A = this chain, B = another copy of it.
């Protein structure tokens, strides 16, 4: 079942929480909603589920307009950000509830409950009540209650946020498989880039209730539509350097004599714009302790050891930038280093509008 938001707006009192949202999700597509806290993701899901009335606009599931169709008739399964488990029921009863209301046979119910429980590693908890579970266990129960059904639509609101890395990877795999097998259209909210990247067919990036970009994960990452997306997606975030283009010298000039060569095509993209912002991701910066041709001098001001890599925070001209380095890279504050820019990977944005220049 496809899903279509047409000019959806939601206001709470004075606050406009979702602002003319237009979004068309293909049938069988897995879409991830990405966006800062409070940007309207949950509200969007809730409107789609019929738990919030839309203030304006239309929502379509498949061909039909569902604005007025009560939740229970929309045939949707949802994982609530706040799990919303039934406190008076055992875990087993919680998970079985959607089947119970559909009068599924006891035998089949048992079978399916066991299957999802196994899938989510909560088999041992069946007889407990929600308040006797750990946070992550509760979250998995909430997830189980959703995926035990085969609805027209899955809505999942940060369903893995309270799980440990190992489980999260595993669950990711399970969800991917499940969605692949059933081909159920899914709208998924997460703050975890790995989830967004690995699960999504397409990612919708929202900010303050407005849709910023709706594209494949790779494009979102590699061809952000504007500076917001570029900065928001990817951690540590992309580095930005304010500056101006010197068309004559074919260089981008940042502060304090920072000068970076520009390709023909890059110059073309700027077509004449003077003030632009250069954006480059930490992994596209190279660091050397010795000066090199065309590399920029900079100073380390702090390093963060991540185990698998080291993040190097640098002062370059007036800008602060972050670079990724090998795990064993070490440098004391104020160490002078030289930074190499993989310029072909650089992105450029209009200094005012923040639009990407392509």
Which residue numbers of A lie inside 8 Å of B, CB to CB?
A: 12, 34-38, 42-43, 81-82, 132-137, 140, 157-158, 161-169, 191, 193-194, 197-198, 217-218, 221-222, 231-237, 281-283, 304-309, 324, 327
Contacts and interface: CB of A to CB of B under 8 A. Distances in A.
Contacts of A165: 191, 193, 232, 234-235, 237
Nearest to A281: B308
B306 A197 contact: yes
Given A37-B163, A136-B191, A308-B324, 13 more contacts: A37-B136, A37-B140, A38-B136, A135-B157, A135-B158, A168-B235, A193-B307, A194-B306, A198-B305, A218-B305, A221-B307, A283-B308, A283-B309
Given A37-B140, A162-B37, A191-B163, A305 B135 contact: no
B161 A161 contact: yes
A134 B283 contact: no
A313 to B, nearest CB: 11
Contacts of A81: 135, 162
25 contacts: A36-B164, A36-B166, A37-B134, A37-B135, A37-B140, A37-B163, A37-B164, A38-B133, A38-B134, A82-B135, A135-B157, A165-B191, A165-B237, A166-B231, A166-B232, A166-B237, A169-B236, A193-B307, A194-B306, A197-B306, A217-B305, A217-B307, A218-B307, A282-B308, A283-B309
A307 B327 CA distance: 19
Contact of A198 (B191, B281, B304): B304
Contacts of A161: 161-162
Contacts of A35: 164
Given A38-B134, A197-B305, A307-B233, A191 B162 contact: yes
Given A37-B136, A38-B134, A191-B168, A222 B307 contact: yes
**Which 8 A-B pairs give the minimum distances between C-beta atoms?**
A37-B136, A221-B307, A165-B235, A81-B135, A38-B134, A164-B191, A36-B164, A161-B161
Contacts of A136: 37-38, 191
Nearest to A306: B197
Contacts of A304: 197-198
A42 B134 contact: yes
Nearest to A80: B135
Nearest to A81: B135
A325 to B, nearest CB: 12
Contacts of A135: 37, 42, 81-82, 157-158
Nearest to A40: B134
A132 B231 CA distance: 28
A35 B133 CA distance: 16
A256 B166 CA distance: 28
Nearest to A233: B307
A306 B237 contact: no
A170 to B, nearest CB: 10
A164 B232 contact: yes
Given A161-B161, A306-B198, A283 B193 contact: no
Given A135-B42, A169-B236, A197 B307 contact: yes
